[in-house]
Amino acid sequence: MTSHRHPRAQFSSKFGLIAAAAGSAIGLGNIWKFPYITGVYGGAAFLFVYLGFILAIGLPVMLSELIIGRKSRRNAFGAFKKLAPGTPWMMIGSFGVAAAFLILSFYGVVAGWSIKYIIFSITNHFHNSTPGEIAQSFNTFIADPLSPLIYQVIFMVLTGAIVIIGVQKGIERYSKVLMPVLLVLIIILDIRAVTLKGAGEGLHFLFNPDFSKLSFEGVLSALGHAFFSLSLGMGTLITYGSYVNKNDNLINTALQVTVADTVIAILAGIAIFPAVFAFNIEPGQGVGLIFITLPNVFMQMPGGHIFSILFFVLLTIAALTSAISILEVVVAYFTEELKIKRQISTIFATALITLLGIICSLSLGIFSDIEIAKRNIFDFLDHISANILLPLGGMFIALFMGWAFGKYRVFREVAHGGKLKGWLLKIFMILVKFVAPLAIFIVFLQGLKILDFITTLFTGK
Ligand code: PHE
């Protein structure tokens, strides 16, 4: 091990951490993925299970990641190397780096779609189109062997460039102002959506649960999405926590980020589902849901043209602040563990991820025949990373917090001069020691149909 230490960057203010962590959490996960998987898994029941996971698992794991990051002041891999040297806990960091790679590959593709929709909005492409024609445009676009790649590459280059600029300048500046604007815009969309004729059915779909319809696969996806949406399970918040000041209140940060993330997802759902039913769109149709639904809503709004441009610009920026946090996991690992220069690490990681992303994108068109475990490559990478790697990472992070890090050190990290209530600490310890790991384990066994999965992987049946 080398002994030289480079001074580590720090967030400049308390608001810096909250803005950056919220910027990471709020992204395509809330606005694109949440409505689409809620549609696929049948609506309200999925939403309620998701909310349960956020509270019982997401929140404690988020606090754990921030604590681990701040205590160790290292990247996702180095953190465990420092806090528990010579133990297998370091594996968590490797899962994290792998998950970051896979997630960013398909994330960049969808963010590229969002850039394309800025252009569709500017040229007023959907003017006077029927819902059927709007769907057709989307499906033709994503299956094109070239066009989506251009936008994906643009997005990835932007992401890489911001990461090269560095932690403070790169991350803080962008997230502070724009997320509140996005929130306002979604609320305007909500108002339009719920006043559409036939909106009631959409609200019923989103809020009136029928648990008998929820499959175990749905429960697993709800769990995976709790991790995905909050940016947990792969060390994003360990990495961000490592840039945090000793005086920041980590409990408040975790609470605020979780609430903001969840509220935005639900508001996105309220913008989408009433419109889905009003325009007779199939809620379970998959990855295109928002791209097919929202243009219809914009067309029904005074000034919809401008709103549409603004919306997709902000969605792209929200995706960007999440993407930089994903790339940062890989880059921090390359620079601190492998001692590769920051610029080179970033360029190298971005290039590799973009290549994998190109394959993902093509798997929705010319490569759509290639299937791994009954999924196309895009869905497979999403499934492996969000539903398997992140919860697995989260399970070990919780176990580490509960059993290796321990109550005493947790208290010292978050107590801030004894303000922490004893019962809160107790609940937290019970959650990370038992509840979160057990719940994840059980959902895995049932939802993954683990044995089935291995058989299909090898037999293709
Ligand atoms: N949370 C981000 C979103 O909802 C995605 C993300 C996942 C970011 C994992 C970091 C880590 O869009």
Query: What is the reported pLDDT for 5?
Result: 46
Percent helix / strand / coil, the chain, rounded to 5: 75, 0, 20
CA proximity to 364, closest of 380, 376, 372: 376
Predicted confidence (pLDDT) per residue in 13-55, tens digit = 666 788 889 989 999 999 999 999 999 999 999 999 999 999 9
Query: What is the reported pLDDT for 360?
Result: 97
Expressed in angstroms and rounded, the spacing between residue 455 Cα and the centre of ligand 1 is 30
Query: What is the reported pLDDT for 461?
Result: 65
pLDDT for 192 beyond 90: yes
pLDDT for 460 beyond 80: no
Residues with CB under 6 A from ligand 1: 24-25, 27-30, 103, 228-229, 231, 234, 236, 322, 325-326
Q: What is the pTM of this model?
A: 0.93
CA proximity to 156, closest of 11, 357, 328: 357
Over range 187-203, report the average pLDDT: 96
Expressed in angstroms and rounded, the spacing between residue 381 Cα and the centre of ligand 1 is 14
Query: What is the reported pLDDT for 3?
Result: 37
Query: What is the reported pLDDT for 284?
Result: 96
Query: What is the reported pLDDT for 166?
Result: 66
Q: Which residue has the higher pLDDT, 9 or 276?
A: 276
- Indicate the domain borders of the chain: 14-459
DSSP secondary structure, 56-120, as one string? IIIHHHHHHHHHHHHHH-S-HHHHHHHHSTTSGGGHHHHHHHHHHHHHHHHHHHHHHHHHHHHHH
Nearest CA to ligand 1 atom 8: 231
Query: What is the reported pLDDT for 421?
Result: 73
Query: What is the reported pLDDT for 103?
Result: 98
Query: What is the reported pLDDT for 323?
Result: 95
Cα–Cα distances in Å, from 56 out to 193, 223, 252, 273? 31, 11, 16, 26
Pocket test for ligand 1, best of 61, 228, 229, 264 (most atoms within 8 A of CB): 228
User: Dihedral through CA 139, CA 141, CA 142, CA 147, nearest 10?
Assistant: 170
Over range 319-342, report the average pLDDT: 91
Q: Which residue has the higher pLDDT, 395 or 169?
A: 395
Predicted confidence (pLDDT) per residue in 405-436, tens digit = 988 888 888 876 556 677 889 999 999 999 99
Question: Which atom of ligand 1 is the closest one to the Cα of 390?
Answer: 9
pLDDT for 2 beyond 50: no
CA dist 245 and 17 (Å) reads: 9
Expressed in angstroms and rounded, the spacing between residue 339 Cα and the centre of ligand 1 is 26
How many residues are recorded in the chain? 461
**Which CATH number does 14-459 carry?**
1.20.1740
Give phi and psi for 179, each to the nearest 5.
-65, -40
Expressed in angstroms and rounded, the spacing between residue 182 Cα and the centre of ligand 1 is 17
Helix H, strand E, coil C: the string for 116-164 is: HHHHHHHCCCCCCCCHHHHHHHHHHHHHCCCHHHHHHHHHHHHHHHHHH
Expressed in angstroms and rounded, the spacing between residue 237 Cα and the centre of ligand 1 is 11
CA dist 417 and 362 (Å) reads: 55
DSSP secondary structure, 388-428, as one string? IIHHHHHHHHHHIIIIIIHHHHHHHHH-TTTTS-HHHHHHH
If phi over 0 gives left and psi between -120 and 50 gives alpha, with beta otherwise, what is residue 215?
Answer: beta
Query: What is the reported pLDDT for 61?
Result: 97
Question: Which atom of ligand 1 is the closest one to the Cα of 319?
Answer: 12
Predicted confidence band of residue 233 (pLDDT cuts 50, 70, 90) = very high
Predicted confidence (pLDDT) per residue in 157-173, tens digit = 999 988 887 655 555 56
pLDDT for 340 beyond 90: yes
Looking at every residue in the chain, the average pLDDT score rounds to 91
Nearest CA to ligand 1 atom 9: 231
Q: Give the end-to-end CA distance of the chain in Å, rounded to a whole number.
A: 48
Query: What is the reported pLDDT for 191?
Result: 96
Over range 168-179, report the average pLDDT: 64
Question: Which atom of ligand 1 is the closest one to the Cα of 99?
Answer: 9
Cα–Cα distances in Å, from 26 out to 18, 221, 280, 328? 12, 18, 28, 16
Question: In this predicted structure, which of 74-78, 210-214, 434-438 has the lowest mean pLDDT?
Answer: 74-78
Expressed in angstroms and rounded, the spacing between residue 301 Cα and the centre of ligand 1 is 30
CA dist 57 and 399 (Å) reads: 12
Question: Which atom of ligand 1 is the closest one to the Cα of 318?
Answer: 12
pLDDT for 4 beyond 70: no
Expressed in angstroms and rounded, the spacing between residue 316 Cα and the centre of ligand 1 is 13
Predicted confidence (pLDDT) per residue in 242-255, tens digit = 888 888 889 999 99
Predicted confidence (pLDDT) per residue in 107-152, tens digit = 999 999 999 999 999 999 999 999 999 999 999 999 999 999 999 9
pLDDT for 298 beyond 70: yes
Structure tokens at 51: 């909310």
Over range 352-367, report the average pLDDT: 97
Expressed in angstroms and rounded, the spacing between residue 322 Cα and the centre of ligand 1 is 5
Expressed in angstroms and rounded, the spacing between residue 408 Cα and the centre of ligand 1 is 31
Predicted confidence band of residue 366 (pLDDT cuts 50, 70, 90) = very high
Q: Which residue has the higher pLDDT, 419 or 65?
A: 65
Expressed in angstroms and rounded, the spacing between residue 300 Cα and the centre of ligand 1 is 31
Nearest CA to ligand 1 atom 10: 231
Cα–Cα distances in Å, from 52 out to 107, 292, 401? 25, 29, 21
Question: Which atom of ligand 1 is the closest one to the Cα of 322?
Answer: 8
CA proximity to 286, closest of 196, 376, 161: 376
Question: Which atom of ligand 1 is the closest one to the Cα of 326?
Answer: 10
